[in-house]
Amino acid sequence: MIRAYKEVNDDLLYFHIWEEDETNAVFYQGAMGNVGELEHVSAKTPDELTDIINKKIDELNNTDWSGIDDDEYDVLIIEYKIEGDGTEKDHEKRQAVQEKMNEILGLTGVGWCDGGSIGGGTMEICCVVFDYQLAYDIINEDLNETEFEDFSRIYVESER
């Protein structure tokens, strides 16, 4: 996954690139916090796809897009109370929430899910986010009125 960002007026724009397979990639862009636009890119050979991606990266670099350093992200935790080390159902729920967070945070350019943990009376989903408050609002809205709305808290584990 390649992530690039650019500030325009008061908006932070994102541009993500990922390979689906050897000859197909996705270019995904939008304004942070909003669902972006998707473009599928196909090539005849893996080398041609590499050339297409490198050309796009050069274009981004030449128009003031840049990456974000790891220390510019916050670590956000979604915590659920469970009994002990959890049940099989708890483990399945954690996996489902992780998938849901990867989807919504990725679709809005805000971040991604980086796994989770379970045990000692809690289940935690770890998310790496660029803007804690924006991510909090998106996650809270996305989980509201779903089978995942019973989290005990959302908090920032580490801030930039």
Decide: 159 and 112 in contact? Cβ < 8 Å.
Answer: no
Per-residue pLDDT of the chain (160 residues; tens, 9 = 90+): 899 999 999 899 999 999 999 999 999 999 999 999 999 999 999 999 999 999 999 999 999 998 877 778 899 999 999 999 999 999 999 999 999 999 999 999 999 999 999 999 999 999 999 999 999 999 999 999 999 999 999 999 875 5
Instruction: Give the global pTM.
Output: 0.85
| Domain range summary for the chain, segments of one domain joined by + | 2-61, 70-158
| Domain 2-61 shares a fold with domain 70-158 | no
Fold classified for 70-158: Alpha-Beta Plaits (3.30.70)
Q: 70: buried, middle or exposed (CB in 10 Å: 19+, 13-18, 0-12)?
A: exposed
In the Cβ-directed half-sphere of 92, how many Cα atoms lie within 13 Å? Answer: 4
Query: Cα–Cα distances in Å, from 95 out to 67, 110, 131, 138?
Result: 28, 20, 23, 19
User: Rg of the Cα trace of the chain?
Assistant: 18
In CATH, the architecture of 2-61 is Single Sheet (2.20)
